[in-house]
Amino acid sequence: MEVFGDVLKFCSEAWSMFRHKDGEPRSSVKSFLTSLAKPFEAAFGDIIYKFNKDLRVLKTRRWYPTEEGPKTFNPYQSSS
């Protein structure tokens, strides 16, 4: 799955909204104006779409078959 890659891409693009290419922080006014010029949905729409797709996949995979039938994944259940 590409979940981790999508998270890293989001973080990288969000970082670039608040930092110059050389890594120096942008002024808060410039960051604010940048966010007004390009709305969140426009800037991150493709990543949000991928997050939703990944979430649907994770929700379908949380069920796993057993002899008794499907069960819900329990992260607190011991593996023994």
65-80 average pLDDT score: 55
User: What pLDDT, on a 0 to 100 scale, did the predictor assign at position 74?
Assistant: 60
Question: In this predicted model, what pLDDT tens digit does every residue of 9-55 receive, in sequence order?
Answer: 888 888 887 888 888 888 888 878 877 777 777 878 888 888 888 88
Q: Say whether pLDDT at 79 is over 60.
A: no
Task: Answer yes or no: pTM beyond 0.75.
Answer: no
DSSP string, the chain: --HHHHHHHHHHHHHHHHB-TTSPBPPHHHHHHHHHHS-HHHHHHHHHHHHHHHHHHHHHHTEE--TT--EE--TTS---
